[in-house]
Homo-oligomer: A and B are copies of this chain.
Amino acid sequence: MPRTLTVVTSLLALSCLFAPARADEGMWLFNRAPKQQIKAKYGFELTDAWLEHVQKSSVRLSTGGSGSLVSANGLVMTNHHVGSDMLEKLSTKERDLLAEGFYAKTAVDELKCPDLEIDILWTIEDISARVQGAVKDGMSNAEAGAARRKLRSEIEEEAKQKTGLHCESVELFQGARFHLYSYKRYTDVRLVMAPEKGIAFFGGDPDNFEFPRFDLDMCFFRIYEGDKPLQAEHYLKWSRNGTTDNELVFVAGHPGRTERLFTVDHLEYLRDFSYPLTLRSLWRREVQLATFSGRSEEARRIAEGDYFGVQNSRKARTGIYGGLMDPAIMDAKQQAETKLRAAVAANPEWQKKWGDGWDDIARARKTQREFALRLAALGGGGMNLGGALFGKAKDLLRLADEKARPSGERLREYRESNMASLELQLFSPAPIYPDLEIENLCAGLQQMVELLGGKDETVVKALAGKSPRARAEELILGSKLISIDERKKLAAGGQEAIKNSKDPLIQLARTLDDENRKLRKRFEDEVDAVEKLGYSKVAAASFAVNGEDQYPDATFTLRLSYGAVKGYSENGKPVAPYTNFAGLYERSEERDNLPPFQLPPRWAAAKDSVNLNTPYNFVSTCDIIGGNSGSPTINKAGEVVGLIFDGNIHSLVLDIAYQDEQARAVSVDSRAIIESLRRVYDCNALADELQGTRKN
Contacts and interface: CB of A to CB of B under 8 A. Distances in A.
Interface stretch (A159-167, A325-333, A505-513, A540-548): A325-333
A305 B32 CA distance: 55
A292 interface: yes
B325 A454 contact: yes
A577 interface: no
A291 B205 contact: yes
A463 B327 contact: yes
Interface in A413-448: 435, 438-439, 446
Contacts of A286: 283, 287
Classify chain A's interface size.
Answer: 35 or more
Contacts of A295: 2-3, 206
B287 A283 contact: yes
Contacts of A489: none
A457 to B, nearest CB: 13
Interface stretch (A19-27, A51-59, A183-191, A272-280): A272-280
Given A279-B284, A453-B271, A468 B325 contact: yes
Given A2-B435, A272-B453, A322-B469, A314 B287 contact: yes
B325 A446 contact: yes
A469 B323 CA distance: 11
Contacts of A204: 294
A346 to B, nearest CB: 28
B6 A455 contact: no
Interface string A322-347: 11111110100000000000000000
A206 B287 CA distance: 11
A6 B268 contact: no
A517 B473 CA distance: 47
A158 interface: no
A372 interface: no
Given A271-B453, A328-B465, A463-B327, A2 B292 contact: yes
Interface in A456-472: 460, 463, 465-470
10 contacts: A2-B295, A3-B295, A206-B294, A206-B295, A280-B284, A283-B284, A287-B314, A323-B467, A325-B446, A326-B470
Given A1-B435, A268-B455, A271-B449, 4 more contacts: A7-B470, A271-B453, A283-B286, A325-B454
Interface of A: 1-7, 204-206, 268, 271-272, 276, 279-280, 283-284, 286-287, 290-292, 294-295, 297, 299, 314-315, 322-328, 330, 435, 438-439, 446, 449-451, 453-455, 460, 463, 465-470, 473, 591-592
